[in-house]
Amino acid sequence: MSKRLIKLLPLAAALTATGLALSGQASATTRDTPPSVIVKYGDLDLGTKKGVAALHSRLDRAARQVCSPLDSRVLGLREKFDECVSGAVADAVRTVANPNLSLYHRYGKHADIVASN
């Protein structure tokens, strides 16, 4: 029985390597047109901590959706997923260009939200 396991290990390693190579090819072909998700926030008051927290949560969910092809238990891919999510959220925060959202993104729940006038 142990001989069968040893013979299957190279096959499993080859399949894993092939899967990694294919995922690299897929991401290379989509670099020209990166995936995106539209996040609506017109219903939120970005002058309140509750509104800013809700938008940040929406951005995080959208980033996880866009980065989902990298979400894997394969060693090394999880780090790429985490980097993808944090980069996508940071880009979205910059795009929104709201000082309260930027503070919340930087300091989290402890951010002092400036009331909009």
CA torsion 80-82-85-91 (nearest 10°) is -80
pLDDT tens-digit map of 79-111:
888 999 999 999 999 999 999 999 999 998 777
> Residue 71 — pLDDT band, cuts 50, 70, 90?
confident
pLDDT tens-digit map of 28-70:
444 567 788 899 999 999 999 999 999 999 999 999 999 988 8
Closest CA to 92 of 50, 49, 56: 56
Of residues 113 and 67, which shows the higher confidence score?
Answer: 67
Q: Report pLDDT for 87.
A: 93
Structure token digits, residue 107: 């300091």
Whether pTM > 0.85 for this model: the answer is no
